[in-house]
Structure 1
Amino acid sequence: MEILAFGVQSDEKPLIEKAFAGKHEVRCLDVFLNRDTAPIAAGYEIVSTSVNADLGGAVLQTLAAGGTQLIAQRSTGFNNIDLDVAERLALRVARVSYYSPYSVAEFAWTLAMAVNRRVIRAAGRTRDFDFRLDGLLGRDMHGRTVGVIGTGKIGEAFTRIAHGFGMKLLGWDVAENPACVELGMRYVDKEQLLAEADLVSLHVPLLPATHHLIDKDALALMKDDAILVNSSRGGLIDTSALVVELRAGRFLGVGLDVYEAEAGLFFLDKSLEGVDDDTLARLVTFPNVIVTSHQAYYTEDAVGQIIDATVKNVDDYLAGRHSENVLVPARSGS
C-alpha cells in the first residue's frame, strides 16, 4: 500500500519514512492539500494531511473521485474538515487524539515569558551591541493571577507550570478538572477571569461556540497591562478587534502561535513574495507582540507521537479494526 502525505516538513520526512518502513510505502510532499493540489491524490487510497490542509467540500469531492478512502489527519484538531461532506462521500477520517500536552503548554509559557521579559527586543539589541536595559522592564509572575481558558490536558499542563511559578489560578471550562482544583484553581465565569487575570492563556478547541471567544467585548474586560497568549486555534480571537486594542496602547504583551487566517501562510516561506494580509502585517509591527507560525506542538516528542498514531490509524483501517480516533466511520463493508 502506498500512502500520500501532504504538508510534510523537512524535519518530519525521515521520521515518517522510518515509521512506515517495512509496512507501507509513503510519498511525502511539502505542499499542502488544497483545491489546487488535491488532484495529485488520484489513485491513492490513503492520504495523510496536516493541520492546515483544506479539507472543505470541494477538496473532499476531488479526493473521493480519485479513489481516496481514508484521510489520516496528523493533528488533534479537525475544524478544517467538513465532516458532513466526508460522511456523505463515505470517506473515512481519522485524527490523532493525543500527543504530548507539554509541547504546547511549555511553548505557551515561552511566549508569555518572552513578551513579559522583552526577550525578542533584548536579543535584537545585543546583536547590535546595545546593552541598555531601557524598555526591558518585566514583572515577576509569582503571586500574580493567571486565567486558563480550557483546562483539558494542555490546559492542565499549563496550570501545573503556573502553579510552579506560585501564581493564583483561575479557570474556565464546561467542566472542572479535578487535577487543576487540587492545585488550587478556582473556577469562575469567563468575564470574571478576564477581569482579574494578569495573564490569560487559551486552551480550548475551535468550535462554532468558541469562534471569536475573545472578541471586542472580552478584550475590553481585560486589564490594560495583561498578557494574552493563544497557542490553540487562531479563530478563538477576533484579530481585528485585538489590533484596535493594541493601537490604543493596551496590554503588556500578546503571544500568538496561531492566527485565524493562517491557512496558506503558516508553514510556508513567504519572505520573498510578501504577505497580502493587512491585519497580520499590522499585528507583527507591535513591539509587545510575538507571532510564531503554529509551532507549539513541534517537538521531537510530540511529532513522534503524532506519526506513531497516524501509522496506527492506517493499520487499523487496513485491518478493519475499530478505532477511537475515527471521526467519520468507514465505508460499509470496509
Structure 2
Amino acid sequence: MEFLPNFLQRITALMKILFFSAKPYDRTFFEQHNERYGFELEFLETHLGPHIVEAVQDQIAVCVFVNDKVNAEVIAVLAEKGVKIIALRCAGFNNVDLEAAREKGMRICRVPEYSPQAVAEHTVAMLLTLNRKTHKAYNRVREQNFALNGLMGFNLYGKTVGVIGTGKIGAAFCKIMKGFGCKVIAYDIAANAVLQANGIAYHDLETVLGSSDIISLHCPLNEHTHHMINAQTLQKMKKGVMLINTSRGGLINTPDVIDALKNKHVGYFGIDVYEQEEKLFFKDLSESIIEDDTIQRLMSFPNVLVTAHQGFFTEEALSEIAQVTLSSIDALAKGAEPDNKSVILV
C-alpha cells in the first residue's frame, strides 16, 4: 500500500506552475521552498493579462501577484488550457473575477497573512520619515549641508492615530503606535476584542477621521471601500493631517488628495500603493518618460513620500509567501484542503 504516496509524489513532480510578474527574488524563494514539493516552475516577468495568456501551456496552476489582471477573458483561456488553480502570492484578490472562476470550476488560493509586521513596520517607517524628514537629512549631509532649517517634525507621543481596518496588519500597527505613547483609535466593521482590551477605542468612521492627527489605511479594496478617501472624507479630517496608505491604491481618490495637499488641508501624505501602479511599480523606469501626470504631480510635493509597494518586502514575508503558496497548490492538486485558510473559491 506504499505505492499511493509514491504515486502522488510522482504526480506532484510532473505538475507545472507558471509564475507571472516574477522578479529574481520570487525565483529565489520559490525555488528554495520547492525543494520540498518538486513542482516544475516557470517564471515570466510580464504581468498576466489578455496579451500573454496564450503563453500558458500544460500548467495545472498559475501564480499571480497584485497587478496581474485575472478577468473573465483571461480565466476563460486559462480554463480552456487546463489550468485548475489560480494562486495569488498576496493577500488581496480584488484583481480576480471570482464569479468567472467559479463558473469554470477553478480553485483560487491566496496568502491570507504572510507577515503583518512587515507591512505595519513599513507604515511606521513612512510615518517617521515624513515627520522627521530623515530622507532629506540624509541627502543634505551627503552634500556637507548640516543645517536644520526645514527639517522640523513633531512628537508622536500623545498624538491621536486613527487606524482604518484592524485586521492582522492594522492590529500590528496599532500595537506599535501604542508603544510610541500615542492615543490609538480605530474604525472597522467588526471590533477586535484583544485591541479593545489593550486600550484601542473603536468609533464610527467620521469620528476617526475628524479626531486623528495621523490616519493609516489597512483595509481591503472592495465596492464598499473604493475611493473611501475622497473630497468629502478629506474635509472631515483635521487640517494638517498625516495620511498614509500601505493597503491598496484604490482606497484613495488621488486627484482629491492632490487638491487637499495644494490647499494644505493634508499636511503629509505617504503611499506604498497607487491606483495605477501596475504601469509603474516593480519596474526600472529611470530612463523612461513617465506619462502618468498624477504620480508626477504627487512626487513634486515636498511633504509626499512614495514607495513602490515594498511594505511586504522582507525575508520573513517572502519566505512565508512561497511556503504558503506552494503548500496550498500541493493540497488542492491532490484534492485536499489546505490547512492555512488560503482558499478563496471552493
Common fold by TM > 0.5: yes
Matches within 5 A, 1:188-207: 188-207=203-222
Deviation (angstroms), 1:186: 1.3
Is it true that 1:328 corresponds to 2:345 in the alignment?
yes
SS at match of 1:176: coil
SS at match of 1:193: helix
- Name the count of aligned residue pairs: 329
Code of the aligned partner of 2:74: V
Deviation (angstroms), 1:228: 0.5
**Which runs of 4 or more aligned residues in structure 1 lie more than 6 Å from their structure 2 counterparts after TM superposition?**
none
| Structure-1 residue corresponding to 2:242 | 227
Deviation (angstroms), 1:128: 1.9
| Structure-2 residue corresponding to 1:27 | 42
Code of the aligned partner of 1:319: K
SS at match of 1:71: strand
Distance across 2 between alignment mates of 1:265 and 1:55: 19
- Kept after mapping to 2: 8 A contact 1:42/1:63: no
Deviation (angstroms), 1:202: 0.5
Q: Using structure 2 for the length normalisation, give the TM-score.
A: 0.92
Deviation (angstroms), 1:164: 0.3
> Which runs of 5 or more structure 1 residues have no equivalent in the other structure?
330-334
Deviation (angstroms), 1:209: 0.3
Q: 2:30 aligns with which of 6, 13, 16?
A: 16
Judge which range, 30-39 or 146-155, deviates more: 30-39
| Structure-2 residue corresponding to 1:117 | 132
Deviation (angstroms), 1:197: 0.5
Distance across 2 between alignment mates of 1:236 and 1:139: 27
Is it true that 1:6 corresponds to 2:39 in the alignment?
no
SS at match of 1:33: coil
SS at match of 1:201: strand
SS at match of 2:266: coil
Is it true that 1:84 corresponds to 2:99 in the alignment?
yes
Distance across 1 between alignment mates of 2:293 and 2:140: 27
Code of the aligned partner of 1:309: V
Q: 1:75 aligns with which of 90, 93, 106?
A: 90
Distance across 1 between alignment mates of 2:84 and 2:76: 11
Code of the aligned partner of 1:75: C
Is it true that 1:158 corresponds to 2:173 in the alignment?
yes
Deviation (angstroms), 1:89: 1.9
Deviation (angstroms), 1:23: 1.6
Deviations 1:3-54 (A, max 9, x none): 1111122122111111112521211222221222211113212111112111
Code of the aligned partner of 1:110: A
Distance across 1 between alignment mates of 2:135 and 2:69: 33
SS at match of 2:42: strand
**Superposition RMSD in Å:** 1.2
- Kept after mapping to 2: 8 A contact 1:116/1:252: no
Distance across 1 between alignment mates of 2:76 and 2:140: 52
SS at match of 2:162: strand
- Kept after mapping to 1: 8 A contact 2:113/2:168: no
Deviation (angstroms), 1:190: 0.9
Deviations 1:240-274 (A, max 9, x none): 10011111123331110001111222111222222
- Kept after mapping to 1: 8 A contact 2:247/2:273: yes
Distance across 2 between alignment mates of 1:193 and 1:119: 28
SS at match of 1:12: helix
SS at match of 1:62: helix
| Structure-2 residue corresponding to 1:289 | 304
- Kept after mapping to 2: 8 A contact 1:117/1:138: yes
| Structure-2 residue corresponding to 1:332 | none
Distance across 2 between alignment mates of 1:197 and 1:315: 45
SS at match of 1:263: helix
Deviation (angstroms), 1:106: 0.4
SS at match of 2:227: coil
| Structure-2 residue corresponding to 1:213 | 228
Judge which range, 272-281 or 130-139, deviates more: 272-281
Distance across 1 between alignment mates of 2:201 and 2:126: 24
Deviations 1:53-105 (A, max 9, x none): 11112221222222211111101100000111111122221111221110010
Distance across 2 between alignment mates of 1:172 and 1:14: 38
SS at match of 1:207: coil
Distance across 2 between alignment mates of 1:222 and 1:195: 5
Code of the aligned partner of 1:69: K
Code of the aligned partner of 2:18: L
Determine what percentage of the aligned residue pairs are the same residue.
38
Distance across 1 between alignment mates of 2:168 and 2:191: 12
> Which runs of 5 or more structure 2 residues have no equivalent in the other structure?
1-14
Distance across 2 between alignment mates of 1:254 and 1:20: 40
| Structure-1 residue corresponding to 2:151 | 136
